[in-house]
Amino acid sequence: MRPGPGQGHFRRLRGRRPEPGHGRQTADHDDHRSGLHRVAGPLHDGHHLREDVTSLRGPVFGRDPLSSPSALSQERFSRIPCTLHPVFLSTRLATTLPQLQRLIGGRRPFLCTEAKLAKTLEPVLRQLSHSLGHPTLVTFVGGERSKNRATKERLEDSLLRAGAGRDAVLVALGGGLVSDIAGFTAGTLMRGVPYINLPTTLLALVDASIGGKTGVNTPAGKNLVGLFHPPLAVLGALDLLNTLPRSEFRSGLAECLKHGAGLDAGLLAWMAERSPEGLRRNREELFHLVTTSSALKCRIVDEDPAERTGRRNILNLGHTLGHAIELLSGYRVSHGSAVAAGLCWEGACAVVQGYL
């Protein structure tokens, strides 16, 4: 059978070394420490940017590689009411894997993530590999300054070289940046293929991965080019947050505060009685926070899925100034920190004008 577009290159990625100068691959070697077969993508525009296409193989690092002493006393699983797309939350990734398998069905899975996350989350990748039958891993250089059209183009090229076709399903493993870029790519690849979000940050878990908004930044501002392309589902697991730095955890709390300030005074009061470190350590309360906050986001998204009525604008609370801070800082200020500053500024304005 004649291979489809990119499949010839994909076979070489999995085995035989390409001839010198053939195609656009620049290296082919086996990583014997991890058991991964890795192929480096091309350099572009003089920048040391690389996309890796990897066939996930090798042993799984145990049944539950992300166990934590702060884990819940009992396993939890919850489906958040959301008409636009399902949102499943659990305490452990292992609990959501059967659902992930059902969603993928007979499609060919491609795991998309940032290159640096692929190293941090290697045990997760092993677990997913074992569950999904050795999917293809495609990585790209992350960071907010790389959230642009050029990065999306390179991701598309990597997927096509790996043989992605109409039967593909992208699995976005990472924070909001990954779901934005992978979701946008899924919406245009082959004129639209499905994708699934597996958020690994609190911010993505309660906000960025929900609602189907995808896109990239431009010199004119954040998220100005993109699509409304809802995922097949969002599958969240608290154990994916175990490696999250404290600063990133606090960044996610800003979006939870936004939901409380704009939609649920009870949630805002509940959060005011707790410290960020306390929520980080108490997984019972963290699960409550995540389910409550994501449910608020889902409610608004269902009321205005494509931002046509103005109802969804309430989810931009704190973002007007926040986006300006991010842009002017050259994205050195994180999204959550910028939104937190925006919430304070907008709250102060509301007090001065007599609304609060």
Q: Which residue ranges make up each domain of the chain?
A: 77-317
Three-state SS at 222: strand
* Helices vs strands, H then E, count in the chain: 13, 12
| pLDDT reported for residue 192 | 98
Sheet of strand 36-40: strand arrangement: 27-31, 36-40, 52-55, 136-140, 108-114, 168-174, 195-199, 233-237, 87-90, 77-80
Look at residue 85 in the predicted model and tell me its pLDDT: 97
Residues acting as catalytic residues = 191, 213, 255, 297, 307, 312, 316, 319, 323, 335
Looking at residue 195, its pLDDT comes to: 98
Name all contacts of 330-338 with Cβ < 8 Å and 24+ positions apart. Answer: 330/145, 331/143, 331/144, 331/145, 334/247, 334/248, 334/251, 335/144, 335/176, 335/203, 335/251, 336/203, 336/248, 336/250, 336/251, 336/252, 336/253, 336/254, 336/255, 337/250, 337/251, 337/254
Class of domain 77-317: alpha beta
β partners of residue 227: 214
pLDDT at site 73: 55
- pLDDT (tens digit, 0 to 9) for every residue of the chain, 356 residues total? 443 433 333 322 333 333 333 333 333 333 333 333 333 333 233 333 334 454 444 333 333 333 343 445 578 899 998 999 999 999 999 999 999 999 999 999 999 999 999 989 999 999 999 999 989 999 999 999 999 999 999 999 999 999 999 999 999 999 999 999 999 999 999 999 999 999 999 999 999 999 999 999 999 989 999 999 999 999 999 999 998 999 999 999 999 999 999 999 999 999 999 999 999 999 999 999 999 999 999 999 999 999 999 999 999 999 999 999 999 999 999 999 999 999 999 999 999 999 88
Q: 241: closest CA among 291, 180, 287, 307? A: 287
**Can you list the positions of beta strands (E) in the chain?**
27-31, 36-40, 52-55, 77-80, 87-90, 108-114, 136-140, 168-174, 195-199, 213-218, 221-228, 233-237
Residues 144 and 217 sit within 8 Å (Cβ to Cβ): yes
Could you tell me the two tokens for 134? 């050795």
pLDDT on residue 243: 86
Under DSSP, is residue 233 helix (H, G, I), strand (E, B) or coil? Answer: strand
CA distance linking residue 115 with residue 111, whole number of Å: 12
Q: For position 59, what pLDDT does the model report?
A: 35
Q: What is the reported pLDDT for 355?
A: 87
pTM for this entry: 0.81
Q: What is the DSSP letter of 208?
A: I
pLDDT of residue 325: 95
